[in-house]
Amino acid sequence: MRKKQKQKSKASMYLSIGTTLFGAVSVTRQLREARVDKDKLRIADGVVHGAAIVTGVALLIREIRRMTTDD
């Protein structure tokens, strides 16, 4: 049985999108610097954070689709 989750507001959704974009820019910069420095640990950290951002984007897309179908 699936629990009904509280739906996010549109303002909350836009805030989530903004913070995700900011995180993506930050991770991109971190990866670029880590490659120049040849720092494998920072590269690994950037890849893990990048995967988290991709997952977050997928969750946001799913929530946006739910919002549009419920309206």
| Per-residue pLDDT, 2 | 53
Structure-token pair, residue 10: 């549109």
The sign of the CA dihedral 15, 17, 58, 68 is positive
pLDDT digits (tens, 9 = 90+) for 1-36: 455 556 667 788 888 888 998 999 999 999 999 999
Domain boundaries, the chain: 12-66
pLDDT digits (tens, 9 = 90+) for 27-61: 999 999 999 999 999 999 999 999 999 999 998 88
Q: What is the pTM of this model?
A: 0.73
